[in-house]
Structure 1
Amino acid sequence: MNDQQPSALNKPYSVAITGSGGSGAVTAGRILLEAAAHCGYQGLMTRSAGPQIRGGESAAMVRFSTSPVECMGDEYDLLVALDWLNIERFADEIPLSNRSLILCDPKAGEVPALLRSNGAEIREIPFKTFASGLPDGRINMVALGAAAVVCGLPLDAMENSVREVLQSKSPEVVESALRALELGYNHDRRPQIKQPPPGKQDNRWSITGNQACGLGALRGGIKFVAAYPITPASEILEWLAPRLEQVGGALLQAEDELASINMIIGSSFGGVPSLTATSGPGLSLMVEGLGLALVSETPVTVVNVMRGGPSTGIPTKSEQSDLNIAVYGLHGDAPHLVFAPLSIRDAIFTTQWAVQLAEHLQTVSLVLSDQSLGQSQAIIEASEEVDLPLKRSVTDNPGEDYRRYQTVAENISPMSLPGTPDGMYTADGLEHNDRGTPSSMASDHREQLNKRQQKLKQFDYGDYWAEVFGDGDTCLITWGSSTGAVKEAADQLNHSVSKVRVIALRMLAPLQRDKILQLIDGTAKVLVVEQNHGGQLFHYLQSESVLPGTAESLAQPGPLPLRPGRIIRAYQALN
């Protein structure tokens, strides 16, 4: 077994907790993550479930360290198995080695051969026996106590986290959980805690990616949300609903995705910054509505939390496979904005930026989060709000000769809101002249196409379009949630003889082609890393003549996450 304590953390410490539906694996993972936060660590918890969405088996994967954690590692130090129900479904998601430790209950049956084969140490603890001796005793709490010892987390931190996570439960349930936790904690003290953890930090947040998108939306000024629930985006709506009311806004659950996109177009036309959230199947239904928003220059933002596809696909797993529809999916020549948060923390800023750019440029913003970001929970440094000088241009005095779509400086013509004197105009899906009057004249069509294109192309997006790390003659280009694994791989490589540069794209459309070319100029090798089957970013960059002929693609489909070791091996194959 690997006896290194996370308090010594030269590397992050990784724990997986698995069990059948209702066993409390995910709850145990949340408590463990919060306890790590109480001790001063930063961390990340992802979760996995079977195809049932509800019920069936589940797993919580927790990783914590003294530095930010943005991805899962190549293997797990500890597996806590509450039972063995369908554990084989998680075998690829929870890689173990002869450095790993498995905690399990002998009454759960034999340890499956696929787990024994990797050489991990197996330590049996009678979770069920201990729990049965308590009123309402829970196996997961006993197991959590035993895991805390292995992880080097003190009992008081674990107890505080139990109270926080279970605060909605009755006092009797909480007391029973605390007693079960203590039984597991005191059963086997190997290895002893060698040194104290870093100490609690006051400027830390515990937040999911979906909550981060919601916070970014509020910071961006969103006041109306209409949406239809869909996995894995629904938590954005659940988090926003009460908070929109606090800022004078509202959320409406629409009857479907078609209704939700048209509702936010109507609200935005009335002057209220508006947003919807969905996943791949819902985005497909919204495409026609997005075209209406774009041609009428009505700002809207859509947060698309990607999942495995196509069709219903794998709702509970992550995949970066909606890039093509986000960039190319609208019919006609329809330039718009596409963004992708680089981490859970970055989802706050990226969503805020997307909303405010949509408002300022009077266009459509698509934000591509995914299940991995959206439903994972992270302990992060507090995010300070960025003051962006971006807002919608609205006229209170349009004048008798008001031309809503007139070509003006920066191609951003002021909007008038309903009820403004002399400010009436047509805003529908037909091509139009500068007044908004429907027109099929080639000159009007060309003028409006140019206007909608140039306002996005000529705008100065500053340095926010990407994050760049390191410097070297090999360049790793990635986007969205793949960034964490790519950064960790690059960090490992940069601590060896290799020197690697990472370009993580936050803004995918309009593509900042010249800036990318400048960054990769002089690099000997380029590897594009992403989590989908077809290499969508790779081919997109090729179509924009960004990549050198020697560039290669590492495109791994979901549901397995990209891991740093996989990226390192792909890098080594280049050289």
Structure 2
Amino acid sequence: MTRSAGASCSVSIAMCGSGGAGVMTAANMLLDAAADAGYYALFGRSAGPQIRGGEAAALVRLSSEPVTSVDDTTEILLAIDWQNVHRFAAELPLDAKCVIITDPTQGDVPEVMAKSGARIVELPMKDLAKEIPGGRPNMIALGAICQLIGLPIDTVTEVLGKSLKKKRADAYEASVAAVKKGAEAAGSMGTTKRLPPVSDKPLRWSITGNEGAGLGAVRGGVTFCAAYPITPATEILEWLTGALPKIGGTFVQAEDELASINMCVGASFGGAPSITATSGPGLALMTEALGMSLASETPVVVVDVQRGGPSTGIPTKSEQSDLNIALYGMHGDAPHLVVAPNSIGDCIFTTQWAVNLAETLQAPCIVLSEQSLGQSRGIIPAPADVAFTGKRSIAQSPAEGETFKRYALTNTGVSPMPVPGTPGCQYTADGLEHTETGLPSSQAGDHFAQTDKRLRKLTGHEYGDHWATVEGEGELAVITWGSSTGAAREAVERARADGIKAKLISLRLLAPSRPEAMGKALAGVKKALVVEMSQTGQFHKYLRAEYDLPETQLLNRAGPLPFRPHEIHSRLLAMGGK
């Protein structure tokens, strides 16, 4: 299998263990040490349906180049113990080039992993930890991994100093001793994949997609959030609880999703740009209020961090299956905005853009993020500070003798919205169809005029190049969205290395559709591969309904398994005749 530069300059590691084993702590320290040494990273967590506690796997990919996708295999798998780790077997692909590090006191390597042919190496983590007062097996593991991949141990001890030295000197000393002992023990394990050296340390950020969504909301001008906690969106709310008061904003934890969306619509009506965050079950509850937001032309943003469905589904895993409810879930003809970030860093930009669009167009905007973006941490290039913020058109008091028309039929479809209390600008804002002044109406002419207005302001807006990420040229194209973009990008790079000219089209604006822009992006493309994490091919069906496509193939499945670059790459080779 041909590997891209991105694959050759990275190492993929998984650390597994039962609740309390400390694999997440060790993985976070590994990530921080790699960042200090100048590397980029992607760090995700795999957990069981209990959401918190129990067995877990920390999945880390370190690279000398920016990385936005998991790799084809888990090159180093370390298990502090094997309690229920077999449940993660499908998420930890192994082959004969991989290494499994196991503690011989914790039982045999599960058969499903042992039969992969990976080299098995024993490391008595618990026994080695007992030799150090206060020593912990996870620090033995951390030292061993750093030694194997070539990450300087001094960098790790500096990270330990930042987190432990001022709090507990004894814990710091024990951890440093354990890391060094683990590194020493790794000297007899043989060779593994090592990180390439880095010559410089460009400015990078350590951030999760959910933190990025919160930052994007604040950058976009949001000053109010009401929400009800739900996995995997809760971290957005946690971030905003600290950020909003600092800018004079307000956060309210509502009693449920119905209350939260109605509070946001009310706050927005009062002049405060508003946002809420939820997941699929919460979005289902919010659709009626979103219809009221649309009919009353009151801007609001909803971030849906998608998880496996239907119903409660799999709260801790990713899926791209909320697309249909986001696009079509509201009753009636209900044109609205749907956008989707395609990387951890893009969660910042896309959420900021969503606020801008909602405020400018006075419409509800749904941001379709995903668990694998929201709850994963990345060491990413420092993102640009984009200048735009929400630009709501504010109504002024009408001239004497004039009647204020809140829903005036303007050329753009956008009519100025007053701040409550503005003299002469009283109007009714509810879910009923209405005249230009807001008076409830069941007349056909008013309905025709207002439905045209609400559609015109979205389809006539100039979205610029933000509608999609388009990279490369060729007769083959991969069309995708959301978290599948990272694997697709790496696959396209590999195809180019094999002499196949291919391009990537990752949609950021899902509604309204942009047929003219897509036509330009597909110019010269003879075959397209649509990649999505949905069992029923929701994205593919949407594309076929809205766009003129060339000969198209579909690569899809339900969550929670992410696409690996080699899956997309092999399809491109077949489509390109290689």
User: Do both proteins adopt the same fold according to a TM-score greater than 0.5, normalized to the shorter chain?
Assistant: yes
TM-superposed deviation, 1:389: 6.5
Q: Could you report, residue by residue, the CA deviation over 1:79-107 in whole angstroms, capped at 9, with x for unpaired residues?
A: 11111111211111011111111112111
Q: Tell me which residue corresponds to 2:480.
A: 478
The residue identity in structure 1 corresponding to 2:60 is V
Q: Specify the alignment match of 2:74 in structure 1.
A: 76
SS of the aligned residue for 2:421 comes to: coil
Counterpart Cα distance in 1 of 2:345 and 2:186: 37
Measure, in 2, the Cα distance between the counterparts of 1:215 and 1:75: 33
Deviation at 1:470, TM superposition (A): 1.2
Q: Partner residue of 1:97?
A: 95
**1:11 deviation in Å?**
2.8
Cα gap change, 1:398 to 1:385, in 2 (>3 Å) = farther
Give, in whole Å, the separation in 2 of the partners of 1:173 and 1:199.
33
SS in 2 for 1:420: coil
Asked if 1 retains the 8 angstrom alpha-carbon contact of 2:495 and 2:572, the reply is no
Answer whether contact 1:39 1:200 (CA < 8 A) is retained: no
Shift of 1:145: 0.5
Partner residue of 1:517? 519
Deviation readout 1:169-204 (Å, 9 max, x if unpaired): 533333322221121112232568999831562511
**Could you tell me how far apart the structure 1 residues matched to 2:389 and 2:240 are?**
24
Partner of 2:16: 18
Structure 2 match to 1:142: 140
2:286 aligned partner: 286
Q: Distance in 2 between matches of 1:227 and 1:165?
A: 31
Structure 2 CA distance for partners of 1:8 and 1:429, relative to 1, 3 Å: closer
Q: Deviations over 1:411-453 (max 9, x none)?
A: 1111111111111110001010000010000000111000000
SS in 1 for 2:366: strand
2:494 aligned residue (470, 486, 492): 492
Alignment of 1:495-506 (within 5 A): 495-506=497-508
What TM-score does the superposition give when structure 1 sets the normalisation length?
A: 0.96
Q: 1:202 to 1:445 in 2, by over 3 A?
A: same
Letter of the 1:330 counterpart: M
Match of 1:406 in 2: 408
Q: Deviations over 1:99-144 (max 9, x none)?
A: 1111121111122222221121111111101112233321111111
Q: Which residue of 1 aligns with 2:156?
A: 158
Matched to 2:571, the amino acid is A
Question: What is the deviation of 1:161?
Answer: 2.3
- Paired position in structure 2 for 1:261: 261
Give the counterpart letter for 1:137 in structure 2: G
Percent identity, please: 52
Alignment-derived partner of residue 526 in structure 1: 528
Is 2:295 the counterpart of 1:295? yes
Corresponding residue for residue 127 of structure 1: 125
Q: Is the 8 A contact 2:6 2:65 kept in 1?
A: no
Unaligned runs of 5+ in 2: none
Q: Which residue of 2 aligns with 1:231?
A: 231
Quote the Cα distance in structure 2 between the aligned partners of 1:168 and 1:302. 40
Q: Distance in 2 between matches of 1:159 and 1:183?
A: 12
Once the two structures are superposed, residues 433-491 of structure 1 have per-residue CA deviations (whole angstroms, 9 ceiling, x without a partner) of 00001000000011100000000000110111001111111111000111000000000
SS in 1 for 2:464: coil
The one-letter amino acid of 1:552's match is: Q
In 2, Cα distance between the equivalents of 1:307 and 1:159? Answer: 36
- Shifted more, 189-198 versus 396-405: the winner is 189-198
CA contact (8 A) 1:326 1:338 kept: yes
Q: Give, in angstroms, the shift of residue 407 of structure 1.
A: 0.9
Task: Determine if contact 1:31/1:165 at 8 Å carries over to the other structure.
Answer: no
Contact 2:217 2:351 in 1 (8 A): yes
For 1:107 and 1:101, the matched residues in 2 are separated by 18
Q: Which residue does the alignment assign to 1:551?
A: 552
Q: How far apart, CA to CA, are the structure 1 residues paired with 2:166 and 2:431?
A: 49
Q: Verify the 8 A CA contact 1:38 1:199 in the aligned structure 2.
A: no
Separation in 1, partners of 2:178, 2:382: 33
Deviation at 1:545, TM superposition (A): 4.0
The AA in structure 1 aligned to 2:489 is K
Indicate the residue corresponding to 1:442 in structure 2. Answer: 444
User: How far apart are 1:251 and its partner, in Å?
Assistant: 0.8
Counterpart among 448, 462, 465 of residue 464 in structure 2:
462
CA RMSD of aligned residues (A): 1.9
State how far apart, in whole Å, the 2-side matches of 1:376 and 1:167 are. Answer: 27
Counterpart residue type for residue 222 of structure 2: I
3-state SS of paired residue (1:97): coil
Which amino acid in structure 2 is aligned with residue 45 of structure 1?
F
Q: 1:164 to 1:340 in 2, by over 3 A?
A: farther
Cα 1:504/1:266, change in 2 over 3 Å: same
Residues 378-419 of structure 1: CA deviation (Å, up to 9, x unaligned): 001111211227500112323441100001231111111111
State whether residues 149 and 192 of structure 1, in contact with CA within 8 Å, keep that contact through their aligned partners in structure 2. Answer: no
Counterpart amino acid of 2:155? Answer: A
Alpha-carbon shift at residue 569 of structure 1 (Å): 2.4
Q: What is the distance in 1 between the residues matched to 2:153 and 2:199? A: 14
Q: Is the 8 A contact 1:30 1:165 kept in 2?
A: no
Q: Is 1:476–1:501's contact at 8 Å kept on the other side of the alignment?
A: yes
Partner residue of 1:30 out of 18, 28, 31: 28
